Amino acid sequence: MTRQQLEHVVRAAGAITDEQKILVLGSQSILGAIPHPPESLTVSREADVCPVNDPAKAELNSGAIGEISQFDSTFGYYAHG
Protein backbone atom coordinates (compact mmCIF):
# COMPACT_ATOMS: atom_id res chain seq x y z
CA MET A 1 0.00 0.00 0.00
CA THR A 2 1.28 3.44 -0.89
CA ARG A 3 0.67 6.63 1.05
CA GLN A 4 -1.85 7.75 -1.60
CA GLN A 5 -3.75 4.49 -1.16
CA LEU A 6 -3.67 4.87 2.63
CA GLU A 7 -5.02 8.41 2.32
CA HIS A 8 -7.81 7.04 0.12
CA VAL A 9 -8.70 4.42 2.76
CA VAL A 10 -8.67 7.06 5.51
CA ARG A 11 -10.93 9.40 3.51
CA ALA A 12 -13.33 6.56 2.77
CA ALA A 13 -13.30 5.41 6.41
CA GLY A 14 -14.11 8.94 7.56
CA ALA A 15 -16.96 9.25 5.09
CA ILE A 16 -18.43 5.86 6.03
CA THR A 17 -18.29 6.49 9.77
CA ASP A 18 -19.05 10.22 9.57
CA GLU A 19 -15.93 10.81 11.66
CA GLN A 20 -13.11 13.27 10.95
CA LYS A 21 -10.37 11.67 13.04
CA ILE A 22 -9.27 8.21 11.89
CA LEU A 23 -6.50 6.34 13.67
CA VAL A 24 -4.22 4.18 11.52
CA LEU A 25 -2.81 1.17 13.35
CA GLY A 26 -0.49 -1.63 12.35
CA SER A 27 2.17 -1.83 9.68
CA GLN A 28 0.70 0.82 7.37
CA SER A 29 0.94 3.47 10.07
CA ILE A 30 4.58 3.87 8.94
CA LEU A 31 3.23 5.72 5.90
CA GLY A 32 2.22 8.62 8.15
CA ALA A 33 5.82 9.26 9.16
CA ILE A 34 7.63 8.04 6.05
CA PRO A 35 5.74 8.91 2.85
CA HIS A 36 8.06 6.82 0.65
CA PRO A 37 9.28 3.86 2.74
CA PRO A 38 11.29 0.96 1.31
CA GLU A 39 9.23 -1.25 -0.96
CA SER A 40 9.44 -4.11 1.55
CA LEU A 41 7.23 -2.06 3.89
CA THR A 42 4.49 -1.46 1.32
CA VAL A 43 3.49 -5.01 0.42
CA SER A 44 0.37 -5.13 2.62
CA ARG A 45 -3.01 -4.55 0.95
CA GLU A 46 -4.70 -3.81 4.28
CA ALA A 47 -4.85 -0.74 6.50
CA ASP A 48 -6.12 -1.08 10.06
CA VAL A 49 -8.27 1.98 10.75
CA CYS A 50 -10.47 3.08 13.62
CA PRO A 51 -12.48 6.24 14.29
CA VAL A 52 -10.83 8.02 17.22
CA ASN A 53 -14.04 9.34 18.81
CA ASP A 54 -16.23 6.26 18.29
CA PRO A 55 -14.22 3.02 17.96
CA ALA A 56 -17.43 0.99 17.77
CA LYS A 57 -17.91 2.35 14.24
CA ALA A 58 -14.78 0.52 13.05
CA GLU A 59 -16.87 -2.45 11.97
CA LEU A 60 -18.70 -0.24 9.47
CA ASN A 61 -15.42 0.07 7.59
CA SER A 62 -14.78 -3.66 7.58
CA GLY A 63 -18.16 -4.21 5.95
CA ALA A 64 -18.09 -1.37 3.44
CA ILE A 65 -14.43 -1.14 2.40
CA GLY A 66 -13.02 -4.33 3.90
CA GLU A 67 -11.59 -7.48 2.41
CA ILE A 68 -13.65 -8.97 -0.43
CA SER A 69 -15.72 -5.77 -0.71
CA GLN A 70 -16.40 -3.90 -3.94
CA PHE A 71 -13.81 -1.36 -2.73
CA ASP A 72 -11.19 -4.13 -2.46
CA SER A 73 -12.13 -5.55 -5.87
CA THR A 74 -11.96 -2.12 -7.48
CA PHE A 75 -8.78 -0.74 -5.92
CA GLY A 76 -6.82 -3.81 -4.80
CA TYR A 77 -6.49 -2.70 -1.17
CA TYR A 78 -8.88 -2.47 1.76
CA ALA A 79 -9.54 -1.38 5.34
CA HIS A 80 -9.83 -3.51 8.43
CA GLY A 81 -11.84 -1.99 11.25
* pLDDT, tens digit (0-9, with 9 covering 90-100), for 23-73: 999 999 999 899 889 988 889 999 999 999 999 999 999 999 999 999 999
Torsion region of 48: left, alpha or beta (phi above 0 gives left; psi -120 to 50 gives alpha) = beta
Per-residue model confidence (pLDDT) at position 41: 86
Per-residue model confidence (pLDDT) at position 36: 86
Q: How many domains does the chain have?
A: 1
- Give the span between the Cα atoms of 42 and 22, in whole angstroms: 20
Q: Which domain holds residue 48?
A: 3-80
Using H for helix, E for strand and C for coil, what is the string for the chain?
CCHHHHHHHHHHHHHHHCCCCEEEECHHHHHHHCCCCCHHHCCCCEEEEEECCCHHHHHHHHHHHCCCCHHHHHHCCEEEC
What is the reported pTM? 0.94
